[in-house]
Amino acid sequence: MNVQQLESTAEALVTEGKGILAADESLGTIGKRFNAVGIESTEESRRAYREMLFITPGIGEFLSGVILFDETIRQKASDGTPLPEVLVEQGIIPGIKVDKGAKEMAFAPGEKVTEGLDGLRERLAEYKEMGARFAKWRAVITIVGQSLPTRRCIDANALTLARYAALCQEANIVPIVEPEVLIDGNHTIERCFEVTEETLRSTFNALYELRVHPKELLLKPNMVISGKEAPEQAGVEDVARYTVECLLRSVPAAVPGIVFLSGGQTDVQATKHLNAMNTMYENLPWELSFSYARALQELPMKTWAGDAENVEEAQRIFLHRAKMNSAARYGCYSEEIERDLVA
Ligand code: 13P
């Protein structure tokens, strides 16, 4: 394990003013997203779409890394350049999703545990050859009233995340550890706080037990937020405050950065929440950044709609969204700069 290399990659991923694009949707997920906006999902349409995002002029100013899916890391741009190389040319670090999805957990009705540890050491070695310098593994935790999640589901996922992270560090790949407490449901923000704290404590405990180095990983958590169906929705400042207070209680100061998922928030909401955290708090022990999929891609994907004629407009919208989140990293996002796009 090369500690210096891992630390410098982790730090580069949370460089000031830059964040991560999660473009690692599995075949099922990208199929659903394409379908919703009338794009047929084929190997070629997925390739063309992702190439369009990656070659967006100037995108390297706002993105430090992109997370790829197994299919994508093996694909090439129209000019024959492998897609990971296209990213490197933009000054962006290629990463790879290595989990194989969240599956029903035995003896835990309604809960899931993420699979993908079998053969992971060999897969990591292959991805490293292909240029990946960091990886991602997502675990999902479901809230249902006071009955879910169960402790056994939280702990099973925490242990799995820790085993994945240890294998990554052994392979000189920075692990992004993603325990996502889902936004689905009608729970309050307080209930989200309680479950997120329990999940993060269990996760960092497992990481410690398995000797994973906290300085050479990034955490990708949910924000602490009201359930999507909750009758009362917490405002922007409350989300920012609850989220940072929860993280202060449960994430070691040695972790260099926290890169949030957007998790079903709208694109503007995800930007506003990140901005509020960076405005309201100074001198936090970690960088607060983004690793969004939907909140960066929703409008660009819809605008592209599978038509080469729309590439320029989709890229313009994508660049703008990345720029807004870059501003949120400094706490200088505003509705005024949001409107610049229209001008
Ligand atoms: P969202 O930002 O759409 O939640 O996706 C982030 C991600 O990478 C989920 O694993």
Distance 292 CA to ligand 1 centre (A): 5
Q: Judging by DSSP bridges, how do beta strands 63-68 and 19-23 pair with one another?
A: parallel
Catalytic residue among 178, 180, 216, 298: 178
Ligand 1 atom closest to the Cα of residue 67 is 8
Q: What is the pLDDT along the chain (343 residues), one digit of tens a residue?
A: 999 999 999 999 999 999 999 999 999 999 999 999 999 999 999 999 999 999 999 999 999 999 999 999 999 999 999 999 999 999 999 999 999 999 999 999 999 999 999 999 999 999 999 999 999 999 999 999 999 999 999 999 999 999 999 999 999 999 999 999 999 999 999 999 999 999 999 999 999 999 999 999 999 999 999 999 999 999 999 999 999 999 999 999 999 999 999 999 999 999 999 999 999 999 999 999 999 999 999 999 999 999 999 999 999 999 999 999 999 999 999 999 999 876 5
Token couple for 193? 């706080």
Distance 178 CA to ligand 1 centre (A): 9
* Nearest CA, atom 4, ligand 1: 263
Note the pTM of the prediction, 2 decimals.
Answer: 0.98
Ligand 1 atom closest to the Cα of residue 22 is 8
Distance 261 CA to ligand 1 centre (A): 5
Burial bucket for residue 17 (CB in 10 Å: 0-12, 13-18, 19+): middle
Is 85 one of the catalytic residues? no
The single residue listed with the structure tokens 């050491």 is 121
The single residue listed with the structure tokens 């992109």 is 66
58 Rama sector, left if φ>0, alpha if ψ -120 to 50, beta otherwise: left
Q: Judging by DSSP bridges, how do beta strands 112-114 and 102-104 pair with one another?
A: antiparallel
> How far is 82 from 343, CA to CA, in rounded Å?
35
Distance 107 CA to ligand 1 centre (A): 27
Is 220 one of the catalytic residues? yes
> How far is 4 from 131, CA to CA, in rounded Å?
18
Structure-derived torsion over alpha carbons of residues 115, 119, 122, 125, reported in degrees to the nearest 10: 10
